[in-house]
């Protein structure tokens, strides 16, 4: 069913986004990659995916905090790949600090990338999906869309907003053949999480190892991180025939974090 569909995955040059992009490539989708990184490494990635899976793979360096750059990325996807069938909003950033010390610029940046970018990509991609009568929108949120965590005011606020956006879009397009769902992972050992260990340790006055054992894995009853490939498999499922009537849902993959 996904053969020759076109998938745009934001933040897909590493971490969860890369795992999602590869899973769609393995399902026969053409890809628009997006994200930051070394240009040579990204080109090698693009070539590897294209040759391994015999698909078209394009890349956009769009900064998704910019509505204009998002519009340019969507235009490129239309010109190079014929439009977007599957949109995965995955790009995200983090900053850890007490709310009284949280830099205003970091608040604005996190809200722009983690929340507003999803609105702008959906608004731009949705008309083409509606015209085709088929589309899949997946917003990679977080367990922090349900529960808060100290020192992450902007991230928690953004992820709560992503869930509200997901449900609203799903209701608006419920009879159109387009679905909109969210995936809420618990902690996944990605560069985003790795890079916040030192800041979290500093904010809480504990060691980085304590952050790993008590703050991260300590919240997940399974005692292990969620795997990026499992999140990717869920994303593919949400685009397949068995999920045609799944919309407005929040798929929690948190090792039992939210069950307690």
Q: What are 11's two structure tokens?
A: 């933040």
State whether residue 119 is helix, strand or coil.
helix
Q: Which of 53, 155, 187, 257 is catalytic?
A: 155
Question: Do 180 and 88 meet the contact criterion of CB atoms below 8 Å apart?
Answer: no
State which H helix or E strand residue 138 sits in: strand 135-140
Question: Do 69 and 169 meet the contact criterion of CB atoms below 8 Å apart?
Answer: no
Phi-psi region of 11 (alpha: psi -120 to 50; beta: other; left: phi over 0): left
Partners of 8 in the beta sheet?
Answer: 32, 87
Active site residue 155: yes
Phi and psi, residue 175, nearest 5°: -105, 15
Partners of 252 in the beta sheet?
Answer: 184
Nearest to 77 by CA among 93, 62, 97: 62
Calculate the alpha carbon distances from 71 to 44, 65, 214 in Å. 25, 11, 42
Question: Do 137 and 167 meet the contact criterion of CB atoms below 8 Å apart?
Answer: no
Calculate the alpha carbon distances from 188 to 16, 64, 115, 194 in Å. 8, 22, 19, 9
The residues annotated with a catalytic role in the active site are 155
């Amino acid at each position: 069913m996904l053969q020759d569909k076109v998938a745009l995955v934001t933040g897909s040059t590493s971490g969860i986004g890369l795992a999602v992009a590869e899973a769609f490539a393995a399902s026969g989708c053409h890809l628009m990659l997006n994200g930051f990184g070394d240009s040579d490494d990204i080109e090698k990635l693009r070539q590897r995916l294209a040759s391994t899976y015999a698909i078209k793979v394009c890349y956009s360096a769009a900064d998704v905090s910019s509505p204009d750059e998002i519009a340019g990325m969507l235009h490129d996807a239309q010109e190079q790949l014929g439009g977007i069938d599957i949109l995965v909003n995955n790009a995200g950033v983090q900053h850890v600090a007490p709310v009284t010390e949280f830099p205003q610029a970091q608040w604005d940046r996190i809200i722009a990338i983690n929340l507003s970018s999803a609105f702008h990509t959906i608004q731009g991609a949705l008309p083409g999906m509606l015209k085709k009568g088929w589309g899949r929108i997946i917003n990679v949120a977080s367990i922090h869309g349900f529960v808060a965590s100290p020192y992450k005011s902007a991230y928690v606020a953004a992820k709560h907003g992503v869930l509200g956006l997901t449900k609203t879009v799903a209701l608006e397009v419920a009879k159109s053949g387009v679905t909109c769902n969210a995936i809420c992972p618990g902690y996944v050992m990605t560069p985003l999480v790795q890079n916040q260990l030192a800041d979290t340790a500093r904010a809480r006055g504990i060691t980085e190892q304590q952050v790993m054992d008590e703050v991260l894995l300590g919240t997940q009853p399974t005692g292990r991180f969620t795997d990026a490939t499992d999140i990717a498999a869920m994303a593919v499922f949400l685009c397949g025939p068995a999920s045609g009537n799944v919309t407005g849902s929040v798929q929690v993959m948190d090792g039992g974090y939210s069950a307690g």
